[in-house]
């Protein structure tokens, strides 16, 4: 479902330049953290699906970072047989996902994507960036809405409770 949103032409230009700098790039999507497409250069990919899945992946990765007390999440990388899907946190409310082929140099992908995020922040200064001052440098468990759920391992439950859950 296409949204009728006006995108700053400079944003689309920046995504096109990212493709020029990374020949292995299959597509890129700039989206909100709730999975809505802001802009994309994803000709053979479904940008809405990519944005929604990226937002879900980023949300989970942020929870991982908080759970192990590793500070603010910068990016997630999904390595597949056919290439990489890398999602970069752009402040609290946005993300950039790039999809590349298997021959991509991941260090170069990181470098170019981070530079693109910086330029996008200059184009639309009101957009959140990785250096968003509204966020603390090291988020804690209290920063995650609803806190982190604690679950009891099945092995520690009484045997009759395990049988009820299994059936």
88 within 8 A of 113, measured Cβ to Cβ: yes
> Which letter does DSSP use for residue 50 in this model?
H
Q: Which residues contact 113 (CB under 8 A, 6 or more apart)?
A: 18, 75, 86, 88, 96, 98
pLDDT tens, position by position, 117-155: 999 888 865 544 433 333 333 344 444 444 444 444 545
pLDDT tens, position by position, 65-115: 999 999 999 999 999 999 999 999 988 899 999 999 999 999 999 999 999
Where exactly are the structural domains of the chain?
9-166
What is the pTM for the complete model shown?
0.72
* pLDDT over threshold 70, residue 61: yes
Q: Which CATH class is domain 9-166?
A: alpha beta
Full strand arrangement of the beta sheet holding 75-80: 37-41, 25-32, 94-101, 83-90, 75-80
Q: Report pLDDT for 121.
A: 85
Q: Report pLDDT for 19.
A: 95
Q: How far apart are CA 70 and CA 137, in angstroms?
A: 10
């Amino acid at each position: 479902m296409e949204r009728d949103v006006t995108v700053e032409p400079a944003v689309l230009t920046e995504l096109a330049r990212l493709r020029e700098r990374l020949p292995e790039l299959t597509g890129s999507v700039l989206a909100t953290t709730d999975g809505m497409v802001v802009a994309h250069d994803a000709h053979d990919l479904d940008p809405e699906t990519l944005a929604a899945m990226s937002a879900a992946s980023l949300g989970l990765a942020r929870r991982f970072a908080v759970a192990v007390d590793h500070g603010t999440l910068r990016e997630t990388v999904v390595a597949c047989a056919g290439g990489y899907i890398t999602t970069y946190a752009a402040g609290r409310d946005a993300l950039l996902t790039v999809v590349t082929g298997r021959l991509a140099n991941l260090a170069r992908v990181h470098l170019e994507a981070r530079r693109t995020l910086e330029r996008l922040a200059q184009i639309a200064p009101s957009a959140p960036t990785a250096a968003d001052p509204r966020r603390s440098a090291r988020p804690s468990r209290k920063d995650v809405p609803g806190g982190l759920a604690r679950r009891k391992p099945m092995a520690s439950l009484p045997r009759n409770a395990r049988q009820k859950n299994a059936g």
